[in-house]
Amino acid sequence: MREGTSSEVTVLGNGARLEGTVVSAGSLRIDGQVKGKISADGDVVLSPGCQVEADISAQNVTIGGPFKGNITAKGRTELAKGGRVDGDIICKSLVVAEGAVFCGQSIMDQQGAQAHAAAQGRASEVKATARSDGDSVSVLEGERARAR
């Protein structure tokens, strides 16, 4: 968990399955399975063994396992080694570790998120699968839509 966030952590343990909306006033660690929506005032950490298909809204987010859905973080989003994101990420800073996989779009700042929503449908869009080697990101396959 990052400095400045609540020290209270809710844990959804290994073997637990939840479908619906998870709301936490503090931070949240998920070791089990979640399908739905996750909202936390603190940080959200997905462990390597988790299975999560949800939209996440939190202060900071760390992805250590497979994840499908969209992430909105007020601060930092980190894809740890072995983490995989299939979805879009909106955050102030994005860290993709070596061995992590990111397939989607990223918008890095809150003003960019508003501009993205306004420009949806008329701006060019890039969707790609990327792998990180630590210092750089390689696009493995992608498709560019023409601007309207």
pLDDT tens digits for range 60-83: 999 999 999 999 999 999 999 999
- pLDDT value at residue 6: 47
pLDDT for 111 equals 60
What residue segments make up the domains of the chain, in order of their start?
Answer: 9-145
pLDDT above 90 for 56:
yes
Chain centroid to CA 60: 9
Tell me what pLDDT residue 110 has.
Answer: 58
Give per-residue pLDDT as tens, 90-148: 999 999 999 999 999 999 875 655 555 454 444 334 344 445 444 444 444 333 333 33
The overall pTM is greater than 0.95: no
Q: What is the average pLDDT across 42-54?
A: 96
Instruction: Let me know the angle formed at the C-alpha of 96 by 141 and 42, rounded to the nearest 5 degrees.
Output: 130
Instruction: Write the CA distances from 148 to 16, 46, 104, 121, 143, integer angstroms.
Output: 46, 38, 21, 8, 15
Q: What is the pLDDT of residue 9?
A: 87
Give Cβ neighbours of residue 67 (< 8 Å, ≥ 6 apart): 46, 50, 52, 53, 83, 84, 85, 86, 87
User: What's the average model confidence in pLDDT over 87-91?
Assistant: 96
Q: Which residue has the higher pLDDT, 24 or 124?
A: 24
Which phi and psi (to 5°) does residue 116 adopt? -65, -45
Amino acid at the residue 87: G
